Amino acid sequence: MTRPRSDITRGWRGWRGLAPLGLVLAAAAPALASPQGLYDEGRVLERRGTACLGQADCVTVESRQARIAKGESTILQARCPAGHPYVAGWDTEQHEHLVTTALPPKPRRGADPDAPVATSGRIEVAATNNGETQGRVTLLLGCVASPPRVTAVMKQRSGVPSNHAGFSGGSR
């Protein structure tokens, strides 16, 4: 039995309404199909030398490696040695799915807010895990013997989500 043409047309028009949903699903397919999520959680962002960037007679102090569970954050600390008591900069070696952020020095109690900030030989960096698995991070602190004259300060470091960007290379 042949259906009237109008029925066929109506039927096709009915399915046509689902076309936008199909397009959305097709666009999202790579992400949905990826078992690893957004991040390549094996990729490590290597140390880049920003701890002592442009500084002469600069020594690097390395913190213990921290392990951060999924959804967790931690604060890393490092302190300059007595012979090189001033912070020049910082660097990390961290997994792609971690974000590290330098925390501002805490003001001294009762200090004049307009007075120059006293330089302390330590730094605190918060690390947050945005991925699905544990991540590891090591903080590197650059230290110099006299107050450094800098015009650039790193505040944050993170990786672009490799799986989202379609990247499949890099160190593991």
Our finding on whether 30 is near other proteins (CB under 8 A) is no
Alpha-carbon distances, residue 75 vs 35, 131, 133, 159 (angstroms): 30, 17, 18, 19
Among 48, 64, 67, 108, which residue sits at the site for other proteins (rule: CB under 8 A)? 48
Among 67, 70, 108, 155, which residue sits at the site for other proteins (rule: CB under 8 A)? 155
Query: Least CB distance from residue 156 to other proteins, whole Å?
Result: 3
Our finding on whether 150 is near other proteins (CB under 8 A) is yes
Among 61, 88, 98, 140, which residue sits at the site for other proteins (rule: CB under 8 A)? 88
Tell me, by CB under 8 A, how many residues bind other proteins: 43
The structure tokens listed for 155 are 């505040």
d(CA 61, CA 143): 7
Residues 6+ apart with CB under 8 A from 39: 96, 97, 130, 131, 132, 159, 161, 162, 163, 164
Contact residues toward other proteins (CB under 8 A) are 45-46, 48-50, 53-54, 86-89, 96, 101-102, 104-105, 114-117, 119-120, 122-123, 147-160, 162, 165, 167, 169-170
